[in-house]
Amino acid sequence: MPYPKATHGGEATVPAQPSFPKLEAEVLQYWEIDRTFQASIDARPAGANGANEFVFYDGPPFANGLPHYGHLLTGYVKDVVPRYMTMRGKHVERRFGWDTHGMPAEVTAEKELGFKTKADIEEFGVAAFNEACRKSVLRFTSEWRDYVTRQARWVDFDNDYKTLDTDYMESVIWAFKSLWDKGLIYQGFKVMWYCWRCETPLSNTETKMDEVYRDRQDPAVTVALRMDTGEKALIWTTTPWTLPSNLAAAVHPDVDYVTVEHDGERYLLAEARLSAYARELGEDAAERVVARYKGSDLVGRRYRPPFDFFYGQQPNAHQVLAADYVTTEDGTGIVHIAPAYGEADKVVTDAAGIQVVGPVNSHGEFSDEVAPYAGMHVLYEGNRAIIRDLKESGLLLRHETYDHPYPHCWRCDNPLIQRAVSSWFVAVTQFRDRMVELNQQINWVPEHIKDGQFGKWLANAIDWGISRNRYWGSPIPVWQSDDPNYPRTDVYGSLDELERDFGVRPTDLHRPMIDELVRPNPDDPTGKSTMRRVPEVLDCWFDSGSMPFAQVHYPFENAEWFEHHYPGDFIVEYNGQTRGWFYLMHVLATALFDRPAFRNCMAHGIVLGDDGQKMSKSLKNYPDVNEVFERDGSDAMRWFLMASPILRGGNLIVTERGIRDAVRQAVLPLWNSYYFLALYANAEGVEGTWRTDSTHVLDRYVLAKTHDLVVDVREGLDTYDVSGACAAVREYLEVLTNWYVRRSRDRFWAGDKDAVDTLHTVLEVVSRVAAPLLPLTTEAVWRGLTGSRSVHMADWPADDLLPADADLVAGMDRVRQVASAALSLRKTNKLRVRLPLARLVIAAEDAELLAPFSELLADEVNVKQVELTRDVAAHGRFELVVNARAAGPRLGKDVQVVIRAVKAGEWTTADSGAVVAAGIELREGEYERRLVTGDHGVAAPLPGGSGLVLLDTDVTPELADEGLVRDLVRVVQQARRDANLDVADRISLTLDVSGDVERAARTHEQFIASETLATSVSYGQVSHGFAGTVGENVTIHVTVSKN
C-alpha cells in the first residue's frame, strides 16, 4: 500500500480524527529511541572555527519551582528558532542551564527550615544552610526535563551548566577581577533600597522588576519645624519613622514661599500649597500672608528638629538647604531631609558637609541611639509611636493616609526601606555611553525596544550595586586587612591566584569554605593583622550576566572557541528582562569585551489569565498545562502561543478556546490534507511522487502558492518574525484545504495522477516549512509521506524548489475573493450552496483577468452563468464616508475640508490604493467605502472597494430540484461514512422519499448513482435507515449496503 492506511475504521493508521496527544507521544518515543535530536546536530558540522555555527543562549531558569506558562512560551521560541536554523544547515548547540544562586534559593531553604532571620542561619551554621540551598535549587530538575520534553523542545540536558559549579564561579570571579583591574569596581556608602527581612540591599535592576511596585497605604504627616526666626516651617513626609534622623530641610531656590498667620502662630510653606492646607490654615489664608520669600532667601536659616536625638551634634546640620528636586505638586514645598534614608537627601547633605546618622539596624528596627523607640520596627510600631509623640508635642499639623505604589522585595514580598549601606558597585556610569552605542548593533524584536524600553533604560543607567549581605552565591573575591592601621586590599580572579597566596586550591568557592582562606597581611610589619575575605556575596544577576563566557569556563578553557562564538546570535525572554538579564549581559559584555553580548534579541510580552489578570493558582484563571497537553497536544499550544501578538511585544490572554482554535487553524488542516491524500491514493492504488510539471490550473496554482509560502516563512523566520511565519502558514493551509483539496476532490475520486503527485509534493514541502512551528505533527506527516528518518533531518526547501507564477497566483487569489463575496451573499440571503442559481455578475476594472476561471467560479458558487464586466457604474457605485473621529486627531481642521470634498464626490484612488480627497491622503480606518446598488440583484463589495459581485436570487422549479438532489447526495455520502465504507466501495442504495424530493430524485437518478457509487437505486420505506435533511428541513431516510 503506497501510504499508511487511511479509513474511518479503527484499523486506520492515518485516522480521520486522530488523538493528537497520542500521536505526539509516539513521535516523542521515536525521537528518544532514534536519538534524532543529536543526529540533526551531527548532520550539520560546525566547520572551521565554528564558521557554520548558530550560537543560541538559553537563559537559565531557577529549578526550585515548577515551570509555568511564561517558561512554556519562551521555551517554544527557544525551540522554533534553533530548529529552523538547523534546517537551514547551521550547527546549533542547545545547552540547558540552571540559575542556582541568590535569594530565591535562600528563601526556599529558610521556609523549609522554619527560619525567620539571619540570626537563625548563623546559629544553624552557614555550611549547613548553604547545603540546604544546594539541595533545594535542583529539586525539580526531573520535572523540568519531563515538561520541556513534552513541549517537543530539543535541549541538551546531559551537558547542562549550573551557576553553582566551581568552573562557572571561577569565570564569575574572573569577571569581577577584570572589572576591578579596569577601575570599574568600587566600594561605596550609598542609600539603596534595602530588605530588612533578608537584611541586604537591592540593586535598581531588582527594584524595577515586574510587580515589585504594589499599591500600599502609608501614613503621611505634616510637621512643624520651629525656626530660629519664630516661624514654624511645615514639612511633609510619608516616612514618619525617618523624622528622628532629620538633619536638614530643603527648599527650591526659585519657588515662592510665604509666612501665614493663623491662631497666633506663623507658618512657613510654599505659596502654591496654601489651598492644599485650607482646612488647617483657613480658607482665607492667602489674605493673612505677612511675609514673602524666594526659596533662596531661606537658605541657611536654622531650626530645631522635631526630635532632639542628634540636635547640636554637627555645626552644619538643622538648617535650610537648596535643592532643585523640591516641587510644589504635593506636600508643603519644604522637604524633610534624612540622608541615611533618601538617595537625593544624601546628595544634598554631602554637599553641605553633613554626616549621615542612621539609628536603624539591619532588621529595620530602631537602635539605642533613639532610646524611646529602640527595638521598634520602623514601618509598624515605630511609625505609630512617632506620630503619637508628634501629636503630644503639638508639632503635628496633619495626619492622613497616603495611597501610592511602593517597592517590595521580589524575594520575600515585604515592603522595602531606603537605607544608607556600604556596598560594592560596578561603575556603569563610566561606560554608559558606550552601552548606548553598542545597543545600535543589536537587532531587537520588536524593533521599538532598541531605542524605547531598552535604550531609555541604558541612557539612564546608574552604578550597579552588586553585593549582597547573604550566604548562597558567588563570593566577592576581595580580601582586606582586618587592621585599619595597615590597610591592604587583594582581589582574586582565579583558583591559581588563590592557591598561590593561600597555599591551598579551593574545590568549592561557596561560603564558608572560601571565608576560611586567610593569610597574614604582607603590608603589616608587626605580623599581627590578617587578610580576610569581605563577607558579601555577588548579586545572583552577576552570575546570569556572566552566562555567555562562564558556561564554557572562559578564559580558563575554550578561549579560542569563545572568541569565535561571541556575541551570541539569538536570545529570547519576556520584555521585563530589558531591566534584568538582557541588561546585565549587556553591562558585562560592554565592560569586559567592548562588544554586545548578543546580535538578535526577542523581547515578548506577558502571558495573562483568561480574565486578563496575572495568572494565579488561587484564582485558577488559566487552563492547566498538563491538561492541555493531554487534551489538545503540545503542537496546539505551541501554535496558539507562536501565532499570537505576544511575540511582537503585546500581552496574551490564555483561554482554552484559543488553544482549541489552534487545532482548527493549523494542526487539523495539515492533517486533513495528509489524510485526504492517503485515503484517495490508497483507494485508487496509486502512490504520489515528487512532481512539479502538472499543467492543470489548480496544480499550477497550489505549486506556485507553495513556492510563495517557502519564501514568506523563510523571510519571517530569518527576521525572527515567528508570528508572521505562522500567519503565512495559516493562510496557506486555508488555501490548501478549502480551495485546492476541495476543488480537486473529483480528480482524486477519479485517481488523477497529476493531482495525487501535486498534493504529495506540496505536502512534502509544507511539512518542512511548518516543521519548526508544528514539529510533532509534521514529523508524523513527513514520515508517512516519505518513509525517511525525520523531517528535522531534512534541509529547508530552496526558494526556487517549486515553480513561481505570480500572475496565476494573483488571478486565482482574485477568484477566491470573488467566490468568498458571492458565498457570503448566499449566506446572508439564506440560499444554501447546494442550491444552484442562475447568474453571477462580477463588475470590476480587472474583470477580464477572471475570464479563464469563469467555469471554475460557476462551479464554486453554484451558478449556471458567470457574467464579467468592467462597468461597475452600471450595477452600483461606492460612496466614501469619512470617519471624523478616527481622522480628526491627525488632520485637525483639515478633516472638515476632506469631508466636504468627499460629499461632493471629489475624491480619487491613487495607484497605491490610498484614497485622496482635497489633496489629502486618508489612511486605513479613517474612511470606509459603502456600496450602493439598485434593486435588480443582491450585491456585495470586493475587498478594497475594487469592484462588486451581484447574485441573481430567483429560484426556478428546475433549480430547486437540482438543489434537492445535491442535498440528497450529501445525505447518502454521510450514510457511507457512517457505515465506515471506503471511498471506492460500490453500494446498493434505497431512498425513503416522497413528493418533490422523490420526483427530483427520479429525474436525476443517474447523477445520484454516479456521485454515490450506487450500482442500483430503489425507492421504498426504510425502517432503520440513515436520517438526514434536504431542502427546507425535509427529513428523508436512506440505506446503503456494500456490494
- Active-site residue, selected from the candidate residues 151, 319, 577, 665: 577
3-state secondary structure string, 792-809?
HHCCCCCCCCCCCCHHHH
Q: What is the mean pLDDT of residues 792-809?
A: 97
Of the candidates 942, 752, 733, the residue with the CA atom closest to the CA atom of residue 857: 942
Q: What is the mean pLDDT of residues 780-806?
A: 97
**d(C-alpha 1026, C-alpha 566), whole Å:** 68
Residue 294 a catalytic site member: no
Residue 581 a catalytic site member: yes
Residue 593, amino acid: F
Task: Calculate the dihedral angle through the C-alpha atoms of 123, 127, 129, 130, rounding to the nearest 10 degrees.
Answer: 150
Q: For all residues of the chain together, what is the average pLDDT?
A: 93
Count of helices and strands (H, E) across the chain: 37, 40
Convert the pLDDT of each residue in 876-896 to its tens digit: 777 888 888 888 888 888 889
Residue whose cell numbers read 478549502: 738
Angle 324-330-331 from CA coordinates, rounded to 5°? 90
Task: Calculate the dihedral angle through the C-alpha atoms of 336, 337, 340, 341, rounding to the nearest 10 degrees.
Answer: 40
Residue 166 cell numbers, joined: 566551581
Q: Is the peptide bond before 4 cis (omega within 30 degrees of 0)?
A: no
Helix (H, G, I), strand (E, B) or coil at 128: helix
- Active-site residue, selected from the candidate residues 472, 581, 639, 739: 581
Residue 171 near residue 537 (C-beta atoms within 8 A): no
Residue 561: pLDDT over 60: yes
3-state secondary structure string, 687-720?
CCCCCCCCCCHHHHHHHHHHHHHHHHHHHHHHCC
**d(C-alpha 371, C-alpha 373), whole Å:** 5
Does 59 or 62 have the greater pLDDT score? Answer: 59
Q: What is the mean pLDDT of residues 688-693?
A: 95
Residue 852 cell numbers, joined: 479563464
Residue 113 near residue 602 (C-beta atoms within 8 A): no
- Active-site residue, selected from the candidate residues 541, 639, 671, 907: 541
- Active-site residue, selected from the candidate residues 58, 79, 99, 524: 99
The pLDDT-based confidence of 13 (bands split at 50, 70, 90) is confident
Residues forming the annotated binding site? Answer: 617
Convert the pLDDT of each residue in 485-538 to its tens digit: 999 999 999 999 999 999 999 999 999 999 999 999 999 999 999 999 999 999
**d(C-alpha 999, C-alpha 964), whole Å:** 10
Residue 963: pLDDT over 50: yes
From 356-365, 751-760, 908-917, the region with the lowest mean pLDDT: 908-917
**d(C-alpha 869, C-alpha 846), whole Å:** 9
Instruction: Give the single-character DSSP code of 380.
Output: I
Residue 705 a catalytic site member: no
Residue 16: pLDDT over 90: no
Q: How far is CA 125 from the centre of its chain?
A: 42
Instruction: Return all residues near 837 (Cβ < 8 A) that are at least 6 apart.
Output: 826, 831, 861, 862, 863, 864, 951, 952, 953, 954, 955, 959
Residue whose cell numbers read 497550489: 702
Residue 1018: pLDDT over 60: yes
Convert the pLDDT of each residue in 833-857 to its tens digit: 999 999 999 999 889 889 999 999 9
The percentage of residues in the chain with a pLDDT greater than 90, rounded to a whole number, is 79
**d(C-alpha 708, C-alpha 800), whole Å:** 10
Residue 5: pLDDT over 80: no
Mean pLDDT comparison of 237-241, 574-578, 645-649, highest-scoring range = 237-241
The pLDDT-based confidence of 1 (bands split at 50, 70, 90) is very low
Residue 932: pLDDT over 90: no
Strands (E), 316-384: 320-322, 335-337
The pLDDT-based confidence of 959 (bands split at 50, 70, 90) is very high
Cα dist from 667 to 29, 53, 641, 724, 770, whole Å: 20, 31, 14, 17, 10
Radius of gyration of the chain (CA): 38
- Active-site residue, selected from the candidate residues 308, 484, 617, 957: 617
Domains identified in the chain and CATH numbers: 213-407 (3.90.740.10), 815-951 (no CATH), 957-1042 (3.30.2320)
- Alpha helical stretches, state H, 506-623: 540-545, 547-550, 559-564, 581-593
Residue 907 a catalytic site member: no
Residues forming the annotated binding site for ATP? Answer: 617
**d(C-alpha 822, C-alpha 857), whole Å:** 10
Strands (E), 252-395: 256-262, 265-270, 289-294, 303-304, 320-322, 335-337
Residue 614 a catalytic site member: yes
Query: What pLDDT sits at residue 943?
Result: 81
Sheet with 1014-1019, strands from edge to edge, namely 1014-1019, 987-992, 1034-1042, 1026-1030
Convert the pLDDT of each residue in 82-122 to its tens digit: 999 999 999 999 999 999 999 889 989 999 999 988 999 99
Cα dist from 896 to 402, 881, 885, 899, whole Å: 47, 12, 11, 5
Environment class of 551 (CB within 10 Å of its CB; exposed 0-12, middle 13-18, buried 19+): buried
Residue 569 near residue 601 (C-beta atoms within 8 A): no
Residue 178 near residue 592 (C-beta atoms within 8 A): yes
Cα dist from 254 to 290, 333, 434, whole Å: 19, 11, 36
**d(C-alpha 846, C-alpha 943), whole Å:** 13
**d(C-alpha 428, C-alpha 164), whole Å:** 26
- Active-site residue, selected from the candidate residues 4, 60, 548, 772: 60
Residue 415 near residue 405 (C-beta atoms within 8 A): no
Residue 480 a catalytic site member: no
Helix (H, G, I), strand (E, B) or coil at 721: coil
* Other beta carbons less than 10 A from residue 68's beta carbon: 15
Task: Calculate the dihedral angle through the C-alpha atoms of 29, 32, 35, 36, rounding to the nearest 10 degrees.
Answer: 50
Residue 639 a catalytic site member: no
Residue 363 cell numbers, joined: 532588621
Environment class of 76 (CB within 10 Å of its CB; exposed 0-12, middle 13-18, buried 19+): buried
- Active-site residue, selected from the candidate residues 5, 135, 190, 614: 614
